[in-house]
Structure 1
């Protein structure tokens, strides 16, 4: 089952139960990538920090 089919099934189930439908596939990808990039470039114990200039 691909993501579109899973989305349709989850939306159908949510509608039948009166729940809020799930977000569409890929909706939060940009936010997740920004968060990961921020962690990789953060100085300190969470990441190596930006490369030195010179």
Structure 2
């Protein structure tokens, strides 16, 4: 059963009990990703590390070590 099937089952059950339907799958995905990014940045600040550009810096360092 995938997320869409589960949503349909949950919507049916909610309708049977007179409750509001659950949100559509994927509705809050961007909010979750932003919250994870903000948490990672917050922990970087507390540890005294830079908050941006870490991935590109690591990629450049990896490229430099290869050539």
Q: Same fold (TM over 0.5)?
A: yes
After superposition, the Cα gap between the structure-2 partners of 1:21 and 1:14, relative to the gap in structure 1 and judged at 3 Å, is: same
Deviations 1:1-54 (A, max 9, x none): 000000000000000000011000000000000000001011216xx55158xx
Q: Report the structure, 1 or 2, having the larger helix content.
A: 2
Number of equivalent positions = 50
Unaligned runs of 5+ in 2: 54-67
Runs of 4+ in 1 over 4 A off after TM superposition: none
Q: Rg bigger for which structure?
A: 2
Q: Give the root-mean-square deviation of aligned CA atoms.
A: 1.8
Tell me, which stretches of 5 or more residues in structure 1 are unaligned?
none
When the two structures are superposed, what TM-score results if normalisation uses the length of structure 1? 0.81
TM-score normalised to the size of structure 2?
Answer: 0.66
